[in-house]
Structure 1
Amino acid sequence: MLRATIKSLLARKLRLVLSGLAIVLGVMFVSSAFVLTDSLGGRFERLFQTVNQETAVQVRADSEAGAESPPLLTDADVTRLSQVDGVASASGDASAQGVVPFRARDGKAVPSSGAPQLGVGWAGGGDLLQVAEGAVPAADTEVALTRFTAEQAGVGVGDRLKVYIGPRYESREYTVTGVLEYSGGRPSLSGETMVAFTMPEAQRLFYGKTGVYGGAALTAADAISDDDLKSRVAAVVPAGFEAVTGAEIAEEQASAFKQLLTFVNWFFLGFALVALLVGMFLIFNTFNIIIAQRARELALFRALGAGWGQLTGSVLIEALVVGFVASTLGLLAGIGVAYGLQAAAGAAGLPLPEGDLVVGVTAIVVSYLLGVLMTVTAALIPAIRAASVPPIAAMREVTRPDKPMLGLTVAGSVVTGLGVAAIAAALFGAPLAAVLIGAGVLLSIVGVALLSPALTRPVAGAIGRLVAWGTAGDLGRRNALRNPRRTSVTAVALMIGVALVSTVTVIGSSLRSTVRDLVENDIGAEVMILTNSQQLPDGREGFDPARLREVDALPGVRESIAYHFSVATVNGQPQQFVSATDLGRAGPMFALEEESGTVAPSGPTEALIDTNTAGTLGLTVGETATVEGAKGGPRTYTIAGIYKSQLTAGLLLPESAVETFAGPLAMQGFVALDEGADTDAVVAGVERIMADYPLVTVGDQESFIAQQNALVDGVLAIFYVLLALAVIVAFLGIVNTLVLSIYERTRELGLLRAIGTTRRQVRGMVRVESLLIAVYGCLLGIALGVGLGASASLALRQQDLLSVVTIPYAQLAGLLVAAALAGVLAAVLPARRASRLNVLDAIAYE
């Protein structure tokens, strides 16, 4: 039986290729995710080891040090550390992030691709960093730059450079005296920018005085290990500091980066599993068709004495081989994709740390496990059906009618009803709303999949009457409806991908409409000042709110308001979002809707809170909230009012609360204009006033809408690209089903050609069949996706995260047209094969 199975496989190579393509693509996604994240993790792990290789022990502020008054080392402290037995050298460190150079050509800040933007006090680069051109800074008005920084800023030795100093919240100009390179001539380690000042200038900029350091790096004498030196240094470090080895620092940095990569990995794996799920439908349909084609062959085995287990095993072995071969090809393709993505990142100007491609054991094991397991699982039911072929089928043709679909229809209706009920319960405020929506989505997809065979004849039949013309079209329609189970399984594979795309499209459209609705109807400002924050907001990124006094002096400006944002501990609960602004003017500016109390408090210790946060914290009007920010200690505020707003949320504090934030900068600003004021002129004036702040952008309402919608579109584009894989797999399923059904209908096609059907008519018949499957699957997906997307949008609206729910009919219609065109393209190969069958060979098929 095993030999017969192997011969069957080798005799049907095309079948192997077609049935394995879906698994190849799905496994490619899985393996590329693992290989990419493992490779990036390895690159950055080596980077952190390189950066810290010259440091035996680092003395740094301990984790208990607060933002209000971070501890500093003095020259005397550094000298004392250098005298510890086993210390070869000790050097103080003065460094900070948020030191941003400006471009010479247009005065704009050098953008960050996620890498840090550093400022350091030059104390010698050791073996890691050397001077490539010019000299190191010798005066407080001079700086040196890494080559990557100089290229990004468009400056060289002798040029003037404007630099934003994050710790001082201001910009200054310096003369570039030198260009630095890392060992091996590298312009950058990982796309970071670095500006090197004299040590005294760095100390003044970062700490407000000279002779102090944020930490110290120690090297060890030859006879002592890093761990032993750490123990000795730990006994003499000043209060507020700790000693750690260079290896421990590298491990901490690598661990933090790998934690981020883990999230990225699971994100991509989610889409890979969707593609593999769609692939399972393809495998299931493929083996169903194959079993139908091999009915007499399998019956002959039964007649010769093969048992139920042998026949089932033979089909599963075939599935195992398909899964193994497809997983191997998918793994290799994934490795290629991961390599290509890293190369593309470098070509796009996003330099990565040096390193090799890492193909870990996890990537290999998971790729084979998922690919093989899902293939064998999908083939299990067809394998069981194969064993049930009666031996009599070997002697004569036996037609095995389709089983009644009543049970499947009832089950589908019940499951769909449960899904709709779960979503409805969540929308009407039942507990565990997120869980109910998730369960409702899953049940709805499964329910519609179960219902699809019963829907095939009425829905696909109606579609066929619209698009099928002439004899060939009518034959194609009848072929699609002949086996509703097969048609529905092929269509459901497409339905899943289209449903997810449609869901994302509806949510995205609602987000875009909400942005426009809020800006045009709720924001009481015509000009907005925004900060493209690179970290969790805490008042250290943005602009000086005092600059708004200059904004108020511009012609046409009626008033302006600053909006500060941070994270604090509220009533003992950490990581709560809080904001501070002029509460007396916040109501009309942010469209605060009064739920209870007042939205215009006047007392210095009064605050506002939105309805959702009030429920989470258990606060009502008149109760108090104790807020503890980064500095200044806890402050208590009385809740003066509870509000609803689409523009802001959380605890709204008076402007005096900014004193407790880590920094004094405002994250946003809103400028209201006089009637008939020149908006463009005001925007230009505000841009000049905010020119010193690299992360700040200024625009009118339309530019604000465009900016926010660009963010939405960027996120949606990622989802569309990732979901496209599932849709591609589904269309491969249509090709697969049609090609295999051509083999099944060889005699029928030969008879059609014998009685005068032309090759063109045969091709048209197959095209109609493919078109019906594609449009039917797409319509199911759109209907399901619109329902799910609208439900999710309504849930978000109940949470005040959306104000408008819209259905993008034009986009959905475009999706349907694209599916129809793809259906026609999917029929090219099967139609060509069907039209070229030799008539005599086809008639004499058996």
Structure 2
Amino acid sequence: MIRTALSRFRVLGLRDLRAHWVRSLVSTAVVAVAAGLLIAVLGTYGSLTGSVERLAVSIAGNADLEITGVTDSGFAATELDVVRAVPGVQAAVPMLRSTVTTGSGELQLFGVDPSIAALDSGLRDGITADPSALSTPGGVLVGSATGLRSGDTLTLDGTESTVVGTIDNAGSERINGGKFVVAPLPAAQNITNRTGQVDSIFVLDDDGADPAAVKAAINDAVAGRVAVNNTDFRADRANAALSLTRNATLMVSLISFVVAGFLVFNVMNMTIAKRRPTLALLRSIGGTRGTIVRDLLGEAALVGLIGGAVGVPIGILMGRAAIGSLPPFLLQSFDAQIEYVLPSFAIPVAVVACVAACVAASGLAAVQVYRISPIEALSVGGGETRTQRRVLFTAAAGTFGVSAVIGAWIFARSVEGQLALAAGAVFLFGVLALCIAATEPIVKCAAELPRRWGGAGRLATATIERAPRRIWATVMTIVIAVAVSVGVSGALSDLTNSATGSLSSLSRTDLYVSLQSADAVPAGDTLDPAAVEQVRRTPGVSRVVEGQWAYATIGEQFVSIQAVADGSNAVSLSALTPDVRSRVLAGDGVAISRTLGKALGISAGDFIELPTPTGIQRVEVLSLVDYLNAAGGTMAISLDSMERFFDRPGATYLEVTVDGDVSAVEASLVGELPSQFNVYTGQEALDGASGSIAQAGALAVALQWIVGLVAAVALLNTLMLSVLERRRELGVLRAMGGNRGTLARMVLAEAVSVGVVGGLLGLAIGAALQYLSTFILGASTGIQISYTLRPSVLVYGLIALLLSLLGSIPPALHAARLGIVDAIAAD
């Protein structure tokens, strides 16, 4: 049976693919681009989470648990003795982790003690091979990728150390790409000015111990002062932080398969129309409809398979390029060097998606095989099979479309969080179903438009009415491209404008001083008190307000906390009512984002048990506010409470008020402060924050334009293929007296009609999608987003019309140049 199918494919299918190689090449190319977009998205975000996971696994080794600080500033090393005393704990391995500056760039610093031998990690082998290596005063081990060798001198954040060995094994290469330094724990604490602090304790359970019981016992022992996690928690946290941008770009990339599907649908329609005599012959000699359809679907699957294979390397190149364009605020909470790591499922998923899209689109076109009788199919010509649309099918498609669109609106307005993103997909499926149900009105509009444009227009009308499926699919190609462009660009523009408005209080501060750039959240290490005093003494500085940003773990949620003081222009304060603001500053409680409140199941007036290094602190939730989510949620707390609860004195950023020339004071601070300090204006802080938000959606916008380009290519080639497949008809028209100009104008009229109808319908759907997206993005980001329909959206309609005209020029010229004899003799 398989041999017979292969023989049919070789004699019929392969022959046709070779004879119409342009058609086959175009279909494969568009499918390949769709596969490349999907691979790019999966590879980009898979690399971020994969790099974090590789680092975590390589360091943790065979550890069962990892204990970390409740914030990103670590915790007291005294917790080590508490953990070691818990029954069921076989070993507890402390580690300090930090990024240090060297003459050759930044390196990961790991501080360890002899207990590291208990871990089966990438660090252990290099250390245990020479146990005395780290006993040398000032001695450190380095990864092989640093390029350093024994005896070299290395300056780590101003502290000179001597390289006493190199760690070079398979496991170490997975640790920051081999760019790391290992120092004795006391030395690492001294280098980073964190005496008595560690960042992690890796726990190995006793053989036969119940892991859940050991974890519960440790939790009881530490009493909330530290967080007890599974060793894969960092990868989970990275995945949660990236999920919004990943899901949005994934949705846009999947739309490219819809565009590719329309092209494949058109091509398969032409293929079936062209093979009508062959199909009739197969039917007359006993071939069943099912066999013919299976052969056609097999050809489509082959196109999808080849397109997917070609698209894989394209997507890998795009993904590698995209990693460098991600905004800093998405990456700053990761302590891993980002390397390209393509998830193992990415290639199979992309190839399967290509095959599925091609087979599904071809299946819709191949249905007409069941409606071809042998005698009807023996008639020559490239027209489609004339059949009455089934009323039941139209009604079902319309009912599903209306239900899906209404359901999408209800879902977007009632569901919070990233689950609301599903409303966008439901809406597009509903719109597509409505357009399927409205095939006849859409084609009728496209046919009526050129009817009054003279003889060429009437010929275009006849052509449109003769091939309704091809015209519908071509119109829908434009509709999808325009709708996605309007919806995505408009929604991201609304998000940026609304986010900028919610962050506007940043610009009221004259200058900011932090260790982070203006486009990143000023979290991380606290500022050197001496530097803070230096800022206060700088001429022209009238006031300095200290503040902190920190990342913390509350329950299962990864939360960004802003600690504020009186006089601050912090965004988290500006969103509060005067009464709540004064209570937060007084330390009476905290304000949290609505998304965090829903995740934790709490409301205003409830109390939250806040895990801190000083134990569980029971604080009141004073208000739920629309905060822009920097992580899984946001919390505002007084600076005094932050310092007391979290044992975290100092500030991670300063708000500086200037009395006089801001530029002069800024220049003075830049010249006086150490090089690692960043000084920027309030407007630069606002521009950086809003720019980062726009940059987070840059990949989605880029994908949107690529989808538009794919649609343009699909449109061009659909028009060209339609001309090539109608050579005999065009030859007959020439023989009947039609001149070359008439044929060219006929093709142009058809393209203009398709472009106008598709552009207008796309604008309407795009405007609705943009409005829906404001609710979706609002639920995902935690802020209210204002909908603004800009006149610039008309540009997308004009672009659709222009693309139609440009796409029609080559086929129009080809139609005009057809020779009568050759055209009539065409197969």
Q: TM-score, normalised by structure 1?
A: 0.70
Alpha-carbon displacement from aligned partner over 1:546-594 (angstroms, at most 9, x marks no partner):
8656545545555443333446687x88656543322576699943352
Distance 2:758 2:539 in 1: 59
Displacement, 1:9? 1.6
Residue of 564, 574, 587 corresponding to 2:548? 564
Which letter does structure 2 place at the counterpart of 1:681?
A: A
Q: Distance in 1 between matches of 2:79 and 2:601?
A: 41
1:660 aligns with 2:645: yes
What letter matches 1:100 in structure 2?
V
C-alpha change, 1:267 and 1:565, in structure 2 (3 Å) is: same
Which of 4, 7, 12 pairs up with 2:16? 12
AA of the residue aligned to 1:634: I
TM-aligned CA distance change 1:365 to 1:522, over 3 Å: closer
Of 351, 372, 376 in structure 2, the residue corresponding to residue 393 of structure 1 is 376
Letter matched to residue 70 of structure 1: A
Counterpart for residue 101 of structure 2: 101
- State whether structure 2 residue 363 is matched by structure 1 residue 380: yes
Count the aligned residue pairs: 761
Q: Any stretches of 5+ residues in structure 2 without a counterpart?
A: 85-89, 117-122, 210-216, 220-229
Q: 1:698–1:196: structure 2 CA closer, same or farther, 3 Å change rule? A: same
* Aligned residue in 1 for 2:108: 117
Over 3 Å counting, the alpha-carbon distance change for 1:138 and 1:760 in structure 2 is farther
**Residue 473 of structure 2 aligns with which residue?**
489
Residues 176 and 778 (structure 1 numbering): CA distance in 2 closer, same or farther, change over 3 Å? farther
1:12 positional shift: 1.8
Separation in structure 2 between the aligned mates of residue 8 and residue 682 of structure 1, nearest angstrom: 79
Corresponding residue to 1:843 among 816, 821, 824: 824
Q: CA deviation at 1:600?
A: 2.0
Q: Do 2:37 and 2:703's aligned partners in 1 also have CA atoms closer than 8 Å?
A: no
Match of 1:447 among 434, 445, 465: 434
1:747 corresponds to which residue? 728
Alpha-carbon distance, 1:19 to partner: 4.0
- In 2: Cα distance, 1:728 partner to 1:103 partner: 45
In the other structure, the counterpart of 1:458 is 445
- Tell me the CA shift for residue 340 of structure 1: 8.3
Q: Cα distance 1:65–1:769, how it changes in 2: closer, same or farther (>3 A)?
A: closer
What per-residue deviation string (whole Å, max 9, x for no partner) do you get for residues 362-403 of structure 1? 667655544444433322343332122234425667986563
Give identity over the alignment, percent. 21
Aligned-partner Cα distance in 2 for 1:37–1:513: 26
Distance 1:37 1:336 in 2: 16
Whether the aligned pair in 1 keeps the contact of 2:266 and 2:469 (CA below 8 Å) is no
Q: Is the 8 A contact 2:397 2:434 kept in 1?
A: yes
- In structure 2, C-alpha distance between the alignment counterparts of 1:608 and 1:61, rounded to whole Å: 28
Residue 121 of structure 1 contacts residue 203 of structure 1 at CA under 8 Å; is this kept in 2? no
1:69 aligns with 2:55: no
Relative distance call for 1:783 and 1:682 in structure 2 (3 A) is: farther
What residue identity is the alignment partner of 2:77? P
Shift of 1:838: 2.8
Give the structure 2 partner of residue 631 of structure 1: 613
Closer/same/farther in 2, CA of residues 509 and 685 from structure 1, 3 Å limit: farther
Could you tell me which amino acid in structure 1 is paired with residue 291 of structure 2? G
1:543 aligns to what SS in structure 2?
coil
Q: Evaluate the alpha carbon distance shift between residue 483 and residue 255 of structure 1 in structure 2; reply closer, same or farther with a 3 A threshold.
A: same
C-alpha RMSD over aligned residues: 5.9
Give 1:630's aligned amino acid: T
For 2:775 and 2:40, locate their aligned partners in 1 and report how far apart those are by CA, in whole Å.
Answer: 36
Q: Distance in 2 between matches of 1:732 and 1:366?
A: 24
Tell me if 1:509 matches 2:493.
yes
Describe the shift of the 1:428–1:40 C-alpha distance in structure 2 as closer, same or farther (beyond 3 A). closer
Give, in angstroms, the shift of residue 44 of structure 1.
9.4
Report what 2:312 is aligned to. Answer: 334
CA contact (8 A) 1:461 1:481 kept: no
**2:769 & 2:265 partners in 1: Cα distance?**
26
Q: Decide whether aligned partners of structure 1 residues 93 and 499 sit closer, same or farther in structure 2, where only a CA change above 3 A counts.
A: same
Q: Is the 8 A contact 1:145 1:176 kept in 2?
A: no
Q: Normalised by the size of structure 2, how large is the TM-score? A: 0.72
Bigger mean CA offset, 775-784 vs 319-328: 775-784
Is the 2:143–2:166 contact (alpha carbons within 8 Å) kept by the matching residues of 1?
yes
Structure 2 counterparts to residues 798-837 of structure 1, below 5 A: 801-802=783-784, 804-810=786-792, 812-827=793-808, 830-831=811-812, 833-837=814-818
More helix by percentage: 2
Aligned to 1:201: 187
Are 1:702 and 2:687 an aligned pair? no
Q: Which amino acid aligns with 1:791?
A: L
The residue number in structure 2 matching 1:298 is 279
Residue aligned with 1:98, SS: strand
SS of the aligned residue for 2:527 comes to coil
Per-residue deviation, residues 53-77 of structure 1 (Å, max 9, x unmatched)? xx9x889976799954334779xx9
1:120-159 maps to which residues of 2 (within 5 A)?
Answer: 120=111, 128=126
SS in 2 for 1:801: coil
How far is 1:509 from its partner?
0.8
* Partner Cα distance (2:729, 2:14) in 1: 26
Q: Which runs of 5+ in 1 are unaligned?
A: 78-83, 85-89, 105-109, 164-172, 219-225, 232-238, 242-251
What does 1:248-647 correspond to in 2, within 5 Å?
273-302=254-283, 304=284, 306=286, 310-335=288-313, 337-338=315-316, 366=349, 369-393=352-376, 401=386, 403=388, 417-425=402-410, 434=420, 439-448=426-435, 450-451=437-438, 453-458=440-445, 479-480=463-464, 483-520=467-504, 524-529=508-513, 532=516, 540-541=524-525, 543=527, 550-566=534-550, 575=558, 578-582=561-565, 590-594=573-577, 598-601=580-583, 604-609=586-591, 612=594, 616=598, 623=605, 625-638=607-620
Q: Is the 8 A contact 1:557 1:671 kept in 2?
A: yes
Which deviations, in whole Å up to 9, do the C-alpha atoms of 1:13-70 show, x marking residues without a partner? 2244444444444445566778999999999999889889xx9x88997679995433
In structure 2, relative to structure 1, the CA distance for the partners of 1:356 and 1:732 (3 Å cut) is: closer
Tell me if structure 1 keeps the 8 A contact 2:536–2:543.
yes
Take 2:322 and 2:425, find their aligned partners in 1: how far apart are those partners? 36
The structure-2 alpha-carbon separation of the partners of 1:842 and 1:538, relative to structure 1 and needing over 3 Å to count, comes to closer
Instruction: Give the SS at the match of 1:99.
Output: strand
Deviations 1:246-269 (A, max 9, x none): xxxxxx979966996898998886
**CA separation of 1:68 and 1:387: change in aligned 2, threshold 3 A:** closer
Aligned equivalents of 2:52, 2:512: Cα separation in 1: 38
CA-to-aligned-CA distance 1:265-319 (integer Å, 9 cap, x gap)? 98886555433333222222222233333344434544x3646xx1342133122
Matches within 5 A, 1:155-166: 163=157
Do 2:53 and 2:234's aligned partners in 1 also have CA atoms closer than 8 Å?
no
CA distance in 1, matches of 2:570, 2:801: 51
Deviation at 1:734, TM superposition (A): 2.4
